[in-house]
Structure formats: structure tokens, C-alpha cells
Amino acid sequence: MQNAQNTGTGENRVLVAVGIFGILITLALFLYELYGIRKCAALIAAGKRIEILLNIDNGQFRRRPHGVACNIINEPFAAGIIYPTALAAWMYFILAFTYPKANPWIPLLVIVFGFVVTVKYDRILQKEFRVDDPKSTTGSDCWRRFKSFVDVVKGRAGGLWGA
């Protein structure tokens, strides 16, 4: 990359075109992934409603495993890391040949922006496709269990946590 400025402008244009092509392909795959996540959420919600109507207590939709760490780490979370990072790599590739001084910052902003947008989109989907089911295994009691754990730790810490 140190020789990026020394290459001819024709080579730079080709490399920038390759980078733009990479960004467009990655962005298209990311958008298709978000569409697939939305469709999956709708299908799971429909499956839960059917299981509730048919009074199926142990169906694959009502008892499906949820994300890790109180449903924070899930498919959209992973997509929010993978695709923005790939987009940032392509952005870095382009900037290395056009504006090398911007390299560290613009790709980092792409990663952060893409991740934040994806996590917000996940929260919107969780609210939109929520099916109230008292028998469903959800992450809702996860926070209650976590709070109980913190209370136990506070008690054992002997006032270190301001108890």
C-alpha cells in the first residue's frame, strides 16, 4: 500500500473500480441478509401463533432457542459485525489509492454505523414480531435471573457495590 501513490492513475482507477464493485456486492448481500432476517422473524411469529392456536406446548417455534447473553447476540448481531466490517475493508482498499490519510477513520465509521443500524433494526423486528405467549421460552426472564445474580454478588461483596 505504500506504493499506492506511485502507481499510474490508470491502475488507481482500476483498483478504485474494483473496490466500488466490492462495496456494491457486499452492500447487496447485507441488504438481502436483512430482508432474510425479517422474513425469518415473520415466519417464526406465524409458527408461534399456529402452535398457540393448536395448543402445542412443545413446538419448535414456542420452544426455539434464542440468542446468547439475554438475546443480545443473535443472527442480526453477527450480521451487524460481518457485513459492516467487509464494507469497511473495501472502503479502506479504495481510500488507500485515493486519500490515504483518511484510511483509519472512514472505515471505522462504516463499521460503527453499520453495527448500530443493524442492532436497532433487530430491536425493531423483535417488537414488531413479538407474540405474547406465557409458555414460550423467551429471554424476558433472563434479565430477572441476571438481576438476581447481581443481587447475590452484591450481598457477598459486603457493600462494595453500594448495597
The domain limits of the chain are 9-157
Better pLDDT: 85 or 6: 85
Q: What is the pTM of this model?
A: 0.74
Across 2-30, b (16+ Cβ under 10 Å) vs e yields eeeeeeeeeebeebbeebeebbeebeeeb
Determine how many CB atoms are found less than 10 A away from the CB of residue 71: 16
Which residue matches cell numbers 456486492?
25
CA distances from 70 to 62, 66, 137 (A): 17, 8, 12
Q: Is the per-residue pLDDT at 114 higher than 90?
A: yes
Cα 141–chain centre separation: 22
3-state secondary structure 67-88: CHHHHCECHHHHHHHHHHHHHH
Query: What letter does residue 100 receive in the DSSP assignment?
Result: G
pLDDT of the residue at 140: 55
Mean pLDDT over the full length of the chain: 83
pLDDT of the residue at 98: 82
CA distances from 67 to 30, 56, 92, 112, 121 (A): 20, 22, 32, 21, 15
pLDDT of the residue at 151: 73
